Structure 1
Amino acid sequence: MINEFIKAFSLIFLAEMGDKTQLLALAFATQYRLISVLTGIGIGAFLNHSLAIALGIYISSFIDGVIIQMIAGAAFVGFSIWTLRVEDEDDEDSGKTKGFGPVLTVAVAFFIGELGDKTQLTAVALAIDSSVPVLTLAGTVSGMLATGLLGIIVGRYIGGRIPELTVKIFASVIFMGLGLVKLYNSVPVRYLTTTNIVLFLLIVSVALAMSTYSIVRMKRQGMESALKARFRELQEYYVLMNSKIDSVCLGTGACVNCKGPDCPVDCIKSLVRCRLRLGTDMELDYLSQDFETSGKSFDKEKVIDCIRLTEEAMEIERNSDETRELETVMALLRELLD
């Protein structure tokens, strides 16, 4: 029975490698605590895949086993082609939500973002062929959690060097192999004629070539997905802010009574450096503090420069969940000009 879990885990893990799920998890991890992000992913995946498993069980209850195997095989071949698809910005923005708490925000985003996606359809295909649906569900949800966590960790340490093309091709090959084996073992012998096989392989080859062309072209032109580009730009902003914010404070010689942690500059430093260490427990509660900046000396030009940088970052991240942290930084910077 454990094979049901391993199979589901492995296929979902492979299906989501380099996909928007990892990038979405990484984006949420720039704002929320790691435990909140993973909890949200787990809830969203559980609800989404529960629907998929239920559908798979329903389908398998009235369709002949041989036909089920053929459907599953064809589905895996389709997933192989789908895996190579380059997602556009609309796809990657589809999971955005606002106005909820961290866990609910992530859960809703993943639930909506995976509706009709290949991961949900993979879960349906797995359920059709499963003898223990509960283990299949556990495997698919665990696979989503694992790929999300890996995306956060890998993105944190190697960022733009994630080999998306290699990962997608590897996952595509696995799906294709499983699909072809299922089809070969389930399609009646009378249909396995040379003509039918050649025609099938020709159609699949054309579809694979079309999917591969777009992703190879993107790789050659040095292009990157919209969400990945936004993450890189946001990361660059925090790295730059980390180097600039120290120069805003003129030191204890100019500021008689240093407030330390109660100073907006120190709070900005903490926020920026927290952001550069994904998964910390830092909460964005600085605006509830009562700052005293009168009589304090700051380099106003440097403050204005930091405000300009933050405005540019907010423009990049407009209408996204990352704006909350940027708005906090902006409010703290403006405290320095009052």
Structure 2
Amino acid sequence: MEALFSSTLAVAIAEIGDKTQLLAFILATRFHKPLVICLGILAATLLNHAAAAYFGAWLGEWLNGDLGRYLLAGSFLAMAAWMLIPDKVEAEESPLYRFGPFVATFILFFLAEIGDKTQIATVLLAAKYDAMWMVITGTTIGMLLANVPVVLAGKLSADKLPMAWIHRGSAALFAAFGLVTLFSV
């Protein structure tokens, strides 16, 4: 259960103000089909985070011992620093819009998640915990917790949220993961 809770919390917080959350807002205002957009986000996240968690689980097996622990702890600490850098996305027209809200959301979300903070977090969490499916479930729930309200509100603007504090809180959470990983034996 720790893997599920930690993964949900880490990704839900990390996703606030992330480029994929801004993308969800753009898609919601473009299509006005919240359920279809949410299903596209769910499908893209499941596929993307399953691949990331599989890679993370493989890394977790390969990087064992003190070296692996140090590398994982360092990665969590680097992730903490990265959380302090806000993401931006341009509100440009995509040729994918012509395929409708589900396909556009699925493809745009999947591509936006490649190398994104939450995908890297999924890799790290799967490497840390020996519970790949719990990590996939948790990170997917975290993505939905952060993005569904934005899609449903449609007119909610991320600039009304205390983004600096949200990014600092997210950085503190990943720093805590790093320190716990570093000092756990």
TM-score, shorter chain, exceeding 0.5: yes
- The SS at the match of 1:116 is coil
Which structure carries more helix by proportion? 2
Matched, 1:57 2:50: no
Which amino acid in 2 is paired with 1:169? Answer: R
Matched, 1:145 2:151: no
Name the residue aligned to 1:19.
Answer: 18
Distance 1:157 1:108, change over 3 A: closer
Name the residue aligned to 1:74.
Answer: 74
If asked which structure has higher relative contact order (CA below 8 Å, sep 6+), I would say: 2
Name the residue aligned to 2:135.
Answer: 136
* 1:63-142 correspondence runs (5 A): 63-89=63-89, 97-142=96-141
CA distance in 2, matches of 1:124, 1:109: 20
8 Å contact from structure 2 (residues 126, 135) kept in 1 = yes
Deviation at 1:97, TM superposition (A): 3.4
CA distance in 1, matches of 2:8, 2:158: 25
Per-residue Cα deviation, 1:77-107 (whole angstroms, up to 9, x for no partner): 11111111133556x76x9833322111101
Structure 1 residues not aligned, in runs of 5+: 187-338
Distance 1:177 1:155, change over 3 A: farther
Distance 1:154 1:160, change over 3 A: farther
CA distance in 2, matches of 1:150, 1:161: 14
Name the residue aligned to 1:45.
Answer: 45
- The SS at the match of 2:63 is coil
8 Å contact from structure 1 (residues 155, 162) kept in 2 = no
- The SS at the match of 1:156 is coil
Deviation at 1:157, TM superposition (A): 5.1
Per-residue Cα deviation, 1:218-246 (whole angstroms, up to 9, x for no partner): xxxxxxxxxxxxxxxxxxxxxxxxxxxxx
8 Å contact from structure 1 (residues 10, 143) kept in 2 = yes
Per-residue Cα deviation, 1:42-82 (whole angstroms, up to 9, x for no partner): 11111111111111122223322433322221111111111
Name the residue aligned to 1:175.
Answer: 174
Structure 2 residues not aligned, in runs of 5+: none
8 Å contact from structure 1 (residues 127, 136) kept in 2 = yes
* 1:238-249 correspondence runs (5 A): none
8 Å contact from structure 1 (residues 80, 176) kept in 2 = yes
Which amino acid in 2 is paired with 1:107? Answer: F
CA distance in 1, matches of 2:95, 2:127: 31
CA distance in 2, matches of 1:77, 1:69: 12
User: Aligned pair count?
Assistant: 183
8 Å contact from structure 1 (residues 8, 143) kept in 2 = yes
Which amino acid in 2 is paired with 1:55? Answer: F
Distance 1:127 1:27, change over 3 A: same
Distance 1:111 1:137, change over 3 A: same
Which amino acid in 1 is paired with 2:102? Answer: V
Deviation at 1:153, TM superposition (A): 5.1
Q: Give the TM-score of the pair, scaled to structure 1.
A: 0.50
CA distance in 1, matches of 2:26, 2:116: 19
8 Å contact from structure 1 (residues 68, 128) kept in 2 = no
8 Å contact from structure 1 (residues 22, 150) kept in 2 = no
8 Å contact from structure 2 (residues 80, 170) kept in 1 = yes
Backbone CA RMSD of aligned residues:
2.3
Larger radius of gyration: 1
CA distance in 1, matches of 2:139, 2:68: 20
Distance 1:178 1:167, change over 3 A: same
8 Å contact from structure 2 (residues 19, 89) kept in 1 = no
